[in-house]
Structure 1
Amino acid sequence: MSTRSDDALIALRKIQRMTELASKRLAQTAGLTPSQMTVLRMLEEQGELSAGHVAEITQLKHATITSLVDKLEARGLIARRRCDTDRRKVWLSLLPAGKTALSVAPDPLHETFATRFDKLPDWQQSMLVAALERSARLLDAEELDAAPFLDIGDLG
């Protein structure tokens, strides 16, 4: 391997490790995954939302949102209710325990990244996106389903 490929792999590993560390910190402080916290924050900021709208905004599959909502509801962090006029539609709302969980949670890594990324000049943003997309292709990962937040997965 060339030194540059080593440097690239080290940078990728640092990103992976930071994602793992941030997810573990969030799990330890609030008992949440980044995707769960994203849903709670959406409900805090926007009020009651449909599960379909949450799936659309988070770019998560409906089955993933259903599983995530099941876990949040079981913990008493959110409430779920069926729409009166369309039984297929499910409305989600934040409960006081969800607000408490958010109050102790650290800022998610993807929000820190987005804030800093947005401050970069357009040309640097474009170059970073191109380099990251190329990296995903080099790893045969371009077809993987992924949402725009850094998450290592379920807590267990």
Structure 2
Amino acid sequence: MTQIEHEIVDSLRRIVRSIDLYSRSLSREYELTWPQLAALRELERLKKCPVGRLAAEMYVGAPTVTGIVDRLERNGLVKRIREEDDRRKVLVALTDEGRRLLSRNPYLLDEGVCRQLADLPERQQKQMLTSLNRLVSMMEAEQGNGSGGNGD
């Protein structure tokens, strides 16, 4: 491994550690895991959707999202709704309590990181996104799950 490759791997480890530490603070402050918050934020964006769509948007498998939704539903943050046209189809949506929690502004990343990203010039944001997407593609190809994996 070259020095630069080692530094890239080290940076990835540090990112994973930072996300883990932030996830722990979310758990303490909001009694949420990072994946639960990610699901709530996706539902905020999508309004309501089937579990399969939510799973695709989160890049995890439907069984994983079903477990997340079950816990969020038990906590009163989401609800399952049967479609009017086809009662077999079940959608997931935020409850008022879920919207209230999100209005308290728990971010998917530390708020300071979000501000710093927003402060970057658009050109640098695009470069960072391109580099991260390329890294994700390489990792998915190596794992043999170019579709985003199942998250299990």
Where structure 1 has 5 or more consecutive residues not aligned to the other structure, the ranges are 148-152
Q: Counterpart of 1:100?
A: 100
Where structure 2 has 5 or more consecutive residues not aligned to the other structure, the ranges are none
1:24-43 CA-to-partner distances (Å, cap 9, x unmatched) read: 12111211223222222233
Aligned letter for 2:32? Answer: L
- TM-score, structure 1 length as denominator? 0.68
User: Which residue, 145, 149, 152 being the options, matches 1:145?
Assistant: 149
Percent of aligned positions with the same letter in both sequences?
A: 27
Aligned letter for 1:72? Answer: L
Deviates more, 1:43-52 or 1:77-86: 43-52
Distance 1:128 1:46, change over 3 A: closer
Deviation at 1:125, TM superposition (A): 4.1
Superposition CA RMSD, Å: 3.6
1:68-94 CA-to-partner distances (Å, cap 9, x unmatched) read: 111111111111122243233112222
Q: Counterpart of 1:130?
A: 134
In 2, the alpha carbon distance for the partners of 1:67 and 1:117 equals 36
> Which of structures 1 and 2 has the larger relative contact order (alpha carbons within 8 angstroms, sep 6+)?
1
Asked if the contact 2:42–2:57 (Cα under 8 Å) also holds between the matched residues in 1, the reply is: no
- TM-score, structure 2 length as denominator? 0.70
Distance 1:87 1:64, change over 3 A: farther
1:5-25 CA-to-partner distances (Å, cap 9, x unmatched) read: 543332122111111011112
